[in-house]
Structure formats: structure tokens, C-alpha cells
Amino acid sequence: AQKVTQAQTEISVVEKEDVTLDCVYETRDTTYYLFWYKQPPSGELVFLIRRNSFDEQNEISGRYSWNFQKSTSSFNFTITASQVVDSAVYFCALSEAGDDKIIFGKGTRLHILP
Amino acid sequence: EAEVAQSPRYKITEKSQAVAFWCDPISGHATLYWYRQILGQGPELLVQFQDESVVDDSQLPKDRFSAERLKGVDSTLKIQPAELGDSAMYLCASSLERGSTEAFFGQGTRLTVV
């Protein structure tokens, strides 16, 4: 069965600090996709990244970076030098190959304090 | 920039009343999804369309919920009768084709049932 666990319900950090959001997933498939989405107060889900199960290279995009480790079934997300605009709920998600359904975690609410 | 359009943004309705939400996906996107997001939770798939056909409605409470995409473009999700537990954000998403896994989400309709 597919499952995504985001153990951190809520995190608060002071602006300019680095913060890591944890994500652990479960799947029986060998081919799958992992995602991170951002949900600002306005409500829409903003796509941040998609990673397929065969690509374990870490990715960096500006202040954002992602650490994918199949050995621990984790796909963690780090924001470097956080800014107030990063305040949002962040969702980790999983989709198995051949199944379009995206399974979301419960989300981590991130507060960046000025 | 192309986006998924949803209306209304907010809806308050009394229990036992009927309510409907509308979604217009990105032009050319064959796959359309309706998700429900209960406060404090991640989105959960209600129904998936491929063109005008339902691909997956296993999580749709069919005794009160219905969804259609008659011409394979825009879609309507209806609840009749609404219950207090239906209060949630209803998100529509679209993707170019099945299996693309790159879904784009609309801003959602926040439903409050009183």
C-alpha cells in the first residue's frame, strides 16, 4: 500500500535560518514518483519538484534542495536562508507508475518568523 | 500563463442543500482530477477523468456526490444533500495525459456547510 508520512506537523524558524522538512514514504512498486507541493494561504497547490525512483541524485534549485534516499525511503526538503514568503504548508506526495493517483502526506505547516 | 480555473472560490451552504463546483482545466489537458482536502489533511482523490470518461471514482461517496465532464473539457462536481462533514477545500487538477504525473492544481473551492 502507498503511504506518505510527514512527521512534522508544524515548524517555526526565524528568517534566514535553514529548515528541513522530512518525508518518509511506503510503496511496493519499484517505479514511482515523489513530489513536493507548496500550499500558500491562498489555497492553491504549487508544484515544486518531481523525482522518479531511478534518479537518486540530489537536486538544488536556488534556496531549495531535495535529498532522496531510497535506502531509508525518504525524500527530504531543505530551504536554505528561509524567507517570510516561504511560510506555507508543504506536502510530500507519491505516485506509483501506471497509477495517476497522487497520494499526499498530511503536510507540514512552516512558519518563517521575521 | 495557463491555469486551472475553479469557481466559486468560497461557498457556504446549509446542510441538506445541493451545491456544485465548476472546473475548467488547462486547454488540451485530457486528464482531470477532483481532490478533497479536509482542514489539516492532505488532498485525497475523489474522481479522475480521462477525456469524458471516469477512470477512478473509487473514493467518491456516490450516494451524495456526482461528477461529470460531458464534453471532455470542463467538469462539475455536485453534492446533494450536503452534510456538515463535507466542509473542506475541493481542488481540481489537470494533466496533459494519463501517466504524466505532472498535475496542475486550481485555487480550489472552500466549502462550508452550516
> What does the pLDDT look like over A2-20, one tens digit per residue?
899 999 999 999 999 999 9
Residues 92-111 of B with CB under 8 A from A: 93, 95, 98-99, 101-108, 110
When scoring B41, B101, B107, B111 by the number of chain A Cβ atoms within 10 A, the one with the most, hence best to mutate, is B101
Half-sphere exposure of B5 (CA within 13 A, CB side): 7
Which residues, including other chains, have CB under 8 Å from residue A36's CB and lie 6 or more apart?
A23, A48, A49, A66, A75, A77, A90, A91, A92, A93
How many whole angstroms from its chain centre is CA B26?
14
pLDDT at A99 over 80: no
CA dist A25 and A103 (Å) reads: 10
pLDDT at A55 over 90: no
pLDDT digits (tens, 9 = 90+) for B74-97: 999 999 999 999 999 999 999 887
When pLDDT is averaged across residues A51-69 and rounded to a whole number, the result is 91
pLDDT at B102 over 80: no
pLDDT digits (tens, 9 = 90+) for B41-60: 999 999 999 999 999 999 99
Nine-digit cell string for A107: 503536510
pLDDT digits (tens, 9 = 90+) for B21-42: 999 999 999 999 999 999 989 9
3-state secondary structure of A71: helix
Please give the DSSP secondary-structure letter assigned to residue B18: -
Residue B101 is predicted with a pLDDT of 64
User: CA-nearest residue of chain B to A39?
Assistant: B107
CB contact under 8 A, B40 and A106: yes
How many whole angstroms from its chain centre is CA A60?
13
The per-residue pLDDT of chain B, averaged, comes to 93
- Please check whether residue A94 is in contact with residue A32, taking contact to mean a CB–CB distance below 8 angstroms: yes
How many residue pairs from chains A and B have C-beta atoms closer than 8 A? 56
